[in-house]
């Protein structure tokens, strides 16, 4: 899944700064629905990572029943947090 393609799919633009609040709300809701319906573990995880980066991801214990998937998600969260520290954030 390409990040820009996913932004266009859910929000109509790949430019995060151009997403209007209404588009953000409806795109977020579509992501949640798609996440709940997705059966492919890889695509489901990719969708969760997009939601995490946008600040709308469900909690790990809700999103992933498998401990291994939760650990992978924690590793991803740690990686994103460390990358944020490097850019002054």
Instruction: Name the domain count of the chain.
Output: 1
Query: With 80 as the cut, is the pLDDT of residue 89 above it?
Result: no
Contact 44, 38 (CB under 8 A): yes
Please give the pLDDT value at position 2. Answer: 83
Cα 10–6–30 angle (5° rounding)?
30
DSSP 5: H
Cα 72–57–69 angle (5° rounding)?
20
The string of pLDDT tens digits covering residues 55-64 is 999 999 999 9
The string of pLDDT tens digits covering residues 3-55 is 899 999 999 999 989 999 999 999 999 999 999 999 999 999 999 999 999 99
72 is in which domain, residue-wise?
3-86
């Amino acid at each position: 899944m390409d990040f820009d393609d996913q932004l266009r799919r859910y929000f109509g633009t790949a430019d995060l700064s151009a997403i209007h609040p209404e588009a953000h709300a409806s795109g977020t809701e579509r992501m949640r629905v798609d996440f709940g319906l997705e059966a492919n573990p890889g695509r489901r995880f990719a969708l969760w990572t997009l939601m995490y980066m946008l600040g709308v991801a469900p909690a790990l214990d809700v999103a992933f029943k498998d401990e291994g998937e939760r650990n992978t998600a924690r590793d991803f969260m740690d990686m994103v947090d460390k990358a944020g520290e490097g850019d002054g954030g």
